């Protein structure tokens, strides 16, 4: 089997740092762009062909879905760190064992998520204060979405393996195919067949299935060391502890952020369906605007993991500095663009003036503070790659969950204005950024040289 740069995998322990990270980040950006299209295209088509009520149902889905899948994807982050460190260290057996353990965890997690999502969607949506006129469509959308969640989970497990070994191009190719399929199926099911919100959910599920079949097929037929053999898919017990050591804190971090956002969403829901639609439209746009930063963060995790696995700590430190500067600069430039052009961008989703006004208000409250969000995410990515995932978990649990929810709960009692909810984001981004900066400058994330694998 091929190893290193002979196959599709890329070693990040050698060569120019900026070149390696940018070449990795560009395909990741494109992949995330097409993945973001799934829910956004649902919102665009549903908003235009069904109306604001259906748009509110789709738009409110982000926080709920992120909470449900966040913990699982955190576990995959842990598995990806193990793969990247083993790959950087040149340990072929550990790479194989980690890859097959990741596949086994994906199957188990996908089945569990399907059951929970289908069974508990109505209760969670009611707890989120979803308005009665929006609730039926929301339940339909969520239950169909989670019926196909195994494909979504397994695609991300496979994509994580590719990215851990420095290959960000193949996931991009498969997402382009599935995203185009999603557009075609959305138009067919919603605009032509008139299936409404159910059609949008079915189109998303089928598109997830297409992306999984393509990427899993590539893993099965790859000539690289990370090739998947169906008969070898099982849990390797010696890897469970290191995977969970990184994965559980990352998963908890994702889950509590999702939980906090659900509480935020419940406050937004209390302002009615137009607020839900407008804020949901902004969230879709924010997801697109922030994709370059997310891409740099994923590159940072892979770069840090591989170089620490190879015990190249100075190179890991230089890569961290480059990644942070790139992410923060890009975030602020894009935030300025969002601030200026958000009215027209929100209008893509709805022509209702009140809906547009809610979206614009949120955008102009937060967009100029995107640099703080980027710094926090980049710092967390570095720490995950270094195997220090407990630190970002604690920081984000404290500020993005406890402080954010406490602030909203208390202040909205005295100032019942939706702007209070919007300001919770830049305030908590700033607090987490200060904490991360202190930890990074201390150098503690590079002190321990012991490898996880």
Q: How far apart are the first and last CA of the chain?
A: 21
Q: Where are the alpha helices (DSSP H) in 349-396?
A: 353-366, 370-385, 390-396
307-346 pLDDT, tens digit each = 888 888 889 899 999 999 999 999 999 999 999 998 888 8
Q: pLDDT tier at 365 (50, 70, 90 boundaries)?
A: very high
Contact 252, 397 (CB under 8 A): yes
Distance CA 362, CA 128 (A): 20
191-196, Cβ contacts within 8 angstroms, sequence gap of 24 or more: 191/45, 191/49, 196/46, 196/50, 196/54, 196/137
Residue 39: the pLDDT is: 61
Mean local confidence (pLDDT), 57-69:
66
pTM of this structure: 0.70
Mean local confidence (pLDDT), 68-76:
77
Residue 108's Cβ-side half-sphere holds a number of Cα atoms within 13 Å equal to 12
User: Has residue 49 got a pLDDT over 60?
Assistant: yes
Distance CA 31, CA 35 (A): 6
Residue 142: the pLDDT is: 85
Contact 142, 205 (CB under 8 A): no
270-305 pLDDT, tens digit each = 787 788 788 878 887 887 787 888 888 888 988 888
Contact 292, 276 (CB under 8 A): no
Residue 287: the pLDDT is: 77
Residue 124 phi/psi, 5° resolution? -70, -40
More confident residue, 171 or 33: 171
Contact 178, 208 (CB under 8 A): yes
Domain boundaries, the chain: 17-446
Residue 111: the pLDDT is: 94
Supply angle C-alpha 20, 25, 26, rounded to 5: 110
232-273 pLDDT, tens digit each = 999 998 888 888 887 888 788 777 777 777 777 777 877 877
| Whole-number average pLDDT of the chain | 84
Coil, helix or strand for 88?
A: helix
More confident residue, 451 or 363: 363
Residue 452: the pLDDT is: 46
User: Has residue 57 got a pLDDT over 80?
Assistant: no
Percentage with pLDDT > 90 across the chain: 28
The strand pairing partners of 224, in sequence order, are 2
The strand pairing partners of 2, in sequence order, are 224
Mean local confidence (pLDDT), 149-164:
89
Most confident by average pLDDT, 32-46, 137-151, 283-297: 137-151
Output the six-digit token pair for 35. Answer: 């993945």
Distance CA 111, CA 302 (A): 28
Mean local confidence (pLDDT), 404-419:
88
Residue 63: the pLDDT is: 62
Distance CA 76, CA 397 (A): 19
For 447, other C-beta atoms within 10 Å of its C-beta total: 10
Distance CA 141, CA 197 (A): 6
More confident residue, 67 or 178: 178
Distance CA 307, CA 323 (A): 14
User: Has residue 160 got a pLDDT over 70?
Assistant: yes
Residue 423: the pLDDT is: 93
Closest by CA position to 267, among listed 362, 357, 399: 362
More confident residue, 49 or 311: 311
Q: pLDDT tier at 61 (50, 70, 90 boundaries)?
A: low
């Amino acid at each position: 089997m091929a190893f290193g740069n002979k196959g599709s995998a890329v070693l990040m322990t050698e060569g120019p740092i900026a070149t390696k990270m940018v070449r990795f980040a560009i395909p990741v950006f494109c992949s995330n762009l097409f993945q973001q299209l799934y829910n956004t295209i649902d919102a665009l088509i549903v908003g235009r062909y069904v109306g604001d009520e259906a748009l509110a149902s789709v738009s409110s889905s982000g926080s709920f879905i992120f909470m449900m899948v966040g913990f699982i994807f955190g576990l995959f982050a842990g598995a990806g760190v193990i793969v990247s460190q083993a790959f950087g260290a040149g340990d072929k057996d550990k790479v194989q064992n980690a890859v097959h353990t990741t596949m086994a965890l994906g199957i188990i997690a996908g089945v569990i998520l399907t059951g929970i999502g289908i069974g508990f969607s109505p209760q969670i949506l009611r707890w989120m204060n979803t308005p009665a006129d929006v609730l039926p469509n929301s339940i339909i959308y969520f239950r169909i979405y989670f019926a196909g969640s195994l494909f979504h989970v397994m695609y991300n497990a496979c994509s994580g393996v590719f990215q851990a070994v420095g290959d960000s191009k193949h996931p991009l190719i498969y997402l382009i195919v599935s995203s185009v399929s999603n557009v075609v199926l959305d138009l067919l099911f919603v605009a032509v067949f008139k299936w409404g919100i159910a059609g949008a959910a079915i189109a998303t599920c089928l598109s997830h299935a297409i992306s999984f079949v393509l990427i899993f097929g590539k893993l099965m037929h790859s000539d690289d060391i990370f090739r998947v053999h169906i008969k070898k898919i099982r849990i390797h017990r010696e890897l469970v502890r290191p995977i969970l050591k990184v994965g559980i804190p990352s998963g908890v971090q994702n889950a509590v952020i999702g939980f906090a956002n659900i509480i935020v969403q419940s406050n937004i829901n209390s302002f009615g369906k137009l607020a839900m639609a407008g804020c949901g439209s902004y969230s879709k746009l924010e997801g697109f605007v922030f994709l370059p930063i997310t891409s740099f963060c994923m590159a940072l995790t892979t770069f840090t993991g591989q170089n620490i696995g190879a015990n190249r700590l100075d190179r890991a430190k230089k890569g961290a500095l480059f990644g942070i500067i790139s992410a923060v600069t890009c975030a602020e430039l894009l935030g300025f663009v969002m601030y200026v052009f958000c009215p027209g961008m929100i209008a893509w989703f709805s022509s209702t003036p009140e809906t547009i006004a809610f979206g614009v208000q949120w955008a102009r409250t937060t967009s100029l503070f995107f640099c703080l969000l980027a710094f926090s995410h980049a710092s967390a990515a570095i720490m995950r790659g270094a195997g220090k995932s407990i630190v970002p978990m604690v920081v984000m649990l404290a500020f993005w969950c406890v402080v954010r929810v406490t602030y909203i709960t208390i202040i909205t009692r005295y100032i019942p204005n939706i702007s209070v909810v919007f300001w919770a984001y830049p305030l908590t981004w700033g607090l987490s950024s200060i904490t991360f900066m202190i930890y990074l400058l201390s150098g503690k994330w590079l002190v321990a040289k012991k490898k996880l694998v």
